[in-house]
Structure 1
Amino acid sequence: MTHTVRHMNVTHRTVVAGSGSVGSPTVRAAVVGAGFMGRVHAESVRRAGGAVVAVASSSPFTVEAAAETLGADQGYPSVEVLLSDAEIDVLHVCAPNAVHASVTRAALAAGVHVICEKPLATGEDDAAALVAAAAGKIATVPFVYRFHPMIREMRERLAAGEAGFLSTISGGYLQDWLSESTDDDWRVDAELGGPSRAFADIGSHWCDLMEFVTGDRIARLSAQTVVVHERRDTTTEDVATVHFTTVSGVVGTLLVSQVAAGRKNRLHIEVSGTETSFGFDQEDPERLWVGRRKGNLMLLRDPDTLSAPAARYSRLPAGHSQGYQDCFDAFVADTYRAIRGEECADGLPTFADGLRAVRITDAVLRSAADGGEWTEVLP
């Protein structure tokens, strides 16, 4: 199939304050997949001042329903037809993990920018190839927890040296949506979800967040994985535990579970230092715990008192809660600013970050297969 490189539409319109720029070119977006993540992406497109002009569905019989669900102008029976016929600037890839690489390759070959859900690919070679193929394009991965204002505040304070000497990093990501033996989902099937489920799905978010806030990287790790419920012939892990050391020598622990009854989406991280420690819990995102020997503080999300990088993502006044969708909105808005050639804040997660997550996941699986042997993580 021959594709034509498409350029930004010169049509202008006024957009919501804090999302895009007034008078900015309208980014024309298409979404592959109309499930939960597709709906989240579509909502963020609109809030960023973009237009959802197309959606591709896995079945011709659901094309019309997919377009209605996402509020798209047009539905297409396949990615190939969409890329051939639709005039778009960016493709949001929200399909099952196994097709991320092939759909993204096709989009890049068609000359469009890409936002691809993680994992970027289910194998390192494919992920590395996508990084190379994305040269010259805006290509991002939704590690959206980076966009919590209090995460930005933690990052600023760590960079300023407030922690003193970092001693340990700990935390976890706990969910319960697969805690019963009868729970099922396409992600359980390795043919669709890839060789890792719990770690690739949510553990990768924690690792990205840890490396983002500390500026340090996991160098070596020892991992164990556990299958709690046998659901299919190709069942992947429900639980993963990881011990790690960073490049700078800090030691850390991570617990990942999708079978932790009562925990809906608890991503929490604590960075301990000799002078000050910091703790963040995604289920309580309006606060940042600051621990000191002579007394602890609980910082509230208040744009009037936060550092400039944190206040930038504080869209609402103090006392008006922000959450997951706000993070997603900020991520898409920054991606679209980059697409339009405008200046945006640092920290936009790119395909290189997606490749990094795939490499950490690969190291976790290799270590677990070797009985928890310490395993090097590729840079």
Structure 2
Amino acid sequence: MGANTVTRAALIGGGFMADVHAHALRANAIDIVGIASSSAARARQAADRLGIDRAYDDVAALLDDDRVDVVHVLTPNASHAPYALAALAADKHVVREKPLATNVRDAQAVVAEAKSRGRVAAVPFVYRFHPMVRHARARIMSGDVGIVYSVQGAYLQDWLLNPDDDNWRVDDAAGGASRAFADIGPHVCDLLEFVTGDRISRLVTLTRTVHPMRRDRAVHTEDLVGMLAQLRSGATVNLLVSQVAAGRKNALSLEIHGALESLRFDQERPEELWIGRRTGSMHHLRNPDELTGDAARLSRLPAGHALGYQDAFTAFVADVYASIARGSVVDGLPVFADGLRAAQLTAAVLDSARSMSWVDVPAVTDSPLEDS
């Protein structure tokens, strides 16, 4: 991967995530050349809303534009793999919303293509970029936590609580065979594996579709997933993922129990890390003067000035473009191999739910965590 100081971006997809990506790009002084969407008219609407000069008639026109160095793919799930492959074939770097693909085979093909092209190819598992997540990871890597015995985590939302709540993600043709887990489950699993430096080796799951009909649509994807798993180290994992948890908006939490102390991170309270000890437990509030390494690097505001989701996303984009500029991937950047990992976990979750049995999860190659 050669260094590249020219970094101009274009977006494919004009929904909510286009706003998030556009804000992060501008915060990093990255030029947004243009945007394509499902039609020329929708692209124009998105361009007007986001203040982007050019609306492409279609994706082919975007990929043919030599001014575009990096393509951000922000479309429904079923189109992720084809657009990523097309962008890589056009010799672009790629930022792709998860899932990498709706099945493992397509995810493997995308990973292989990115590797063969030598392009930076990243997936926004952006919760890695909260400073207190990096602080938790550092405490585990330094031995402060001791041997990890167990992990408890959850990702809870309520936006699909009622039977008349609907979205394109509910349609398995657009969203894939898994919904609740594929949409938000990979975030908590990625956070778990990133913070602990360990991998889920096997799992058993239960899934439930609470509403078999939404409006006039038959539903074939799950509303919630319960998982029991084991890490390679032997630690026990208990996870709950739900899009029908009343009152929960974006409640991603992770609690790790070690021989010496426990750690808890709550995405809705990202400025703090709970450190539990047999005596003297505490809430450690983010303070750059007390942090080191990546936790300090990502603390872009002084203590008491809250950093949130958009700040984490902006930090992710900064590391993507830093990786392109220097010609090597910044440590901790989630890449396509991490997206493949999510596809493998999703497949294992569905296999286990169908068979009602334990399923082994294979290892991922070309991911830094495999060397940990």
TM-score (norm 2): 0.93
**1:79-158 correspondence runs (5 A):** 79-85=59-65, 87-135=67-115, 136-158=118-140
| 1:308 to partner: Cα distance | 2.3
Say which SS state the counterpart of residue 169 (structure 1) adopts.
strand
Query: 1:233 deviation in Å?
Result: 2.5
Matches within 5 A, 1:240-279: 240-279=225-264
Instruction: Assess if the C-alpha contact under 8 Å between 1:174 and 1:264 holds in 2.
Output: yes
Q: 1:288 aligns with which of 270, 273, 278?
A: 273
SS at the partner of 2:38? coil
Pick aligned residue for 2:24 from 44, 47, 72: 44
- Aligned position for 2:294: 309
Please state how far the C-alpha of 1:234 moved relative to its aligned partner: 4.3
Residue 123 of structure 1 deviates from its aligned partner by 0.6
Please show how residues 175-186 of structure 1 align to structure 2 within 5 Å. 175-186=157-168
Aligned twin of 2:145: 163
CA shift, 1:345, in A, is 4.3
Q: Deviations over 1:164-216 (max 9, x none)?
A: 22111001000011111111100010000111111011110000000000000
Identity of aligned residues (%): 54
Q: Tell me if structure 2 keeps the 8 A contact 1:52–1:71.
A: no
Instruction: Figure out how many residues of one structure are paired with residues of the other and give that number.
Output: 356
Partner of 1:335: 320
Alignment-mate amino acid for residue 106 of structure 2: D
Q: Decide whether the 8 Å contact of 1:177 with 1:259 is kept in 2.
A: yes
1:368 aligns with 2:353: yes
Relative to structure 1, the CA distance from residue 38 to residue 275 in structure 2 (aligned partners, 3 Å threshold; closer, same or farther) is same
* Deviations 1:146-178 (CA, angstroms, capped at 9, x unpaired): 000000000000001111221110010000111
| 2:322–2:330 contact (8 Å) kept in structure 1 | no
Contact 1:97 1:194 in 2 (8 A): yes
Q: Give how far 1:96 is off.
A: 0.3
1:67 partner letter: A
TM-score relative to the length of structure 1? 0.92
**3-state SS, counterpart of residue 134 of structure 1:** helix
**How far does the alpha carbon of each residue in 1:198-249 deviate from its partner, in whole angstroms, 9 at most, with x for none?**
1011110000000000000000000011001122234311100100001111
**Alignment check: 8 A CA contact 1:191 1:234 kept:** no
What is the distance in 2 between the residues matched to 1:158 and 1:303? 19
Q: Which amino acid aligns with 2:281?
A: N
Instruction: Determine the structure 2 residue equivalent to 1:198.
Output: 180
Distance 1:342 1:298, change over 3 A: farther
Find the counterpart in structure 1 of residue 362 from structure 2. Answer: 378
Q: Distance in 1 between matches of 2:39 and 2:191?
A: 35
Q: Report SS of the residue matched to 2:206.
A: strand
**CA RMSD after TM alignment:** 1.3
- What secondary structure sits across from 1:284 in the alignment? coil
**CA, structure 1 residues 188+86, in 2 after alignment: closer, same or farther (shift >3 Å)?**
farther
How far did 1:84 drift? 1.7
Is this contact kept in 1: 2:14–2:43, CA < 8 A? Answer: no
Q: CA deviation at 1:342?
A: 6.2
How far is 1:307 from its partner? 2.1
Matched residue, 2:10: 30
Give distance in 2, aligned partners of 1:90 and 1:257: 33
Pick which of 170-179 and 74-83 moved more. Answer: 74-83
- Separation in structure 2 between the aligned mates of residue 356 and residue 152 of structure 1, nearest angstrom: 20
Secondary structure of 1:346 counterpart = coil
**Which digits, 9 at most, give the CA deviation of each residue in 1:73-95, with x for residues without a partner?**
21112211211235200000000
- Do the aligned partners of 1:27 and 1:49 also contact (CA within 8 Å) in 2? no
Partner Cα distance (2:359, 2:6) in 1: 46
Counterpart Cα distance in 2 of 1:274 and 1:182: 46
Structure 2 residue matching 1:229: 3-state secondary structure: coil
CA displacement at 1:334 relative to structure 2: 0.5
Where does structure 1 lack aligned partners over 5 or more consecutive residues?
A: 1-6, 9-24
User: Structure 2: which 5+ residue stretches go unaligned?
Assistant: 364-372
> Contact 1:26 / 1:49 at 8 angstroms: preserved in 2?
no
Paired amino acid for 2:360 = E
CA offsets 1:297-322 (integer angstroms, 9 cap, x no match): 11010000012220100010000000
Moved more, 329-338 or 66-75: 66-75
- Higher mean displacement: 334-343 or 216-225: 334-343
The reply to whether residue 68 of structure 1 matches residue 48 of structure 2 is: yes
Q: Is the 8 A contact 1:153 1:310 kept in 2?
A: yes
Q: Take 2:66 and 2:218, find their aligned partners in 1: how far apart are those partners?
A: 39
Structure 1 distance, partners of 2:136, 2:43, is 43
Structure 1 residue matching 2:85: 3-state secondary structure: helix
Q: CA deviation at 1:61?
A: 2.2
